[in-house]
Structure 1
Amino acid sequence: MRYIRYLFLAVLAIGIVVISMANRNIVTLSLLPEELAGFAKFNWTAEVPLFVVGFSGLVAGLLIGFFWEWMREAKHRAEASRNRRETARLQREVSRLKKAQSGDDKDDVLALIEDDRKAG
């Protein structure tokens, strides 16, 4: 299984390098359209290779998706935490009741022995 994982990672790395080499053209990224930048008197621009734009979009999408899923599962994690606390509380109660029950049995036996001694 380890070799299959290494093979997959090697193929993925080769694919990324090939895509990067095929998309080396420089593109200009602007924060605002030119008309709006003139009105706002601010425009941030950067010249980067095209593959950087594509991979940045891919990474941003993955991060947004991971965060979205983490937020969606928050109620399930909270419920699991409540269930763990309730289970621990119930286990403590069961052990306390078992100790109390075993202690009562000893007291009953001792009471019977003492009653026999008093009667005899």
Structure 2
Amino acid sequence: MRSKLRSLTVGALLLAGTVLQAAPAEAAVMRPPGSGESCTYSVAADGKYGTGICKNVGDHMIEVKFIFVCGWAPDLESPWIALAPGESDGGHGTCGGTGIGSIIAEVRDL
């Protein structure tokens, strides 16, 4: 009886460890820009080249990435960019075909 209980306990611990490891590595929650960021977007006159820039006006580190929504072409994404308080940085993209439909910033707190 004792060895059966011990093996059940070990099995439960192994299962719990597996479930905990299955959690996503990106524990930070993505959100649209809020009061801690100031983001601007611009599209060139030809409608195909766009730029997004965000400034961290908050008091903690954030990461930001930009999504360039293209008409008939695949959308583009910039890599995540870490910004300390007071820093600004951005991303850019060129959409072929019908050009850029919109630019979206995603932010996550660090």
Q: More helix per residue: 1 or 2?
A: 1
Higher fraction of strand: 2
TM-score (norm 1): 0.27
Q: Which has the larger radius of gyration?
A: 1
Higher relative contact order (CA 8 A, sep 6+): 2
TM-score of the superposed pair, with normalisation by structure 2: 0.29
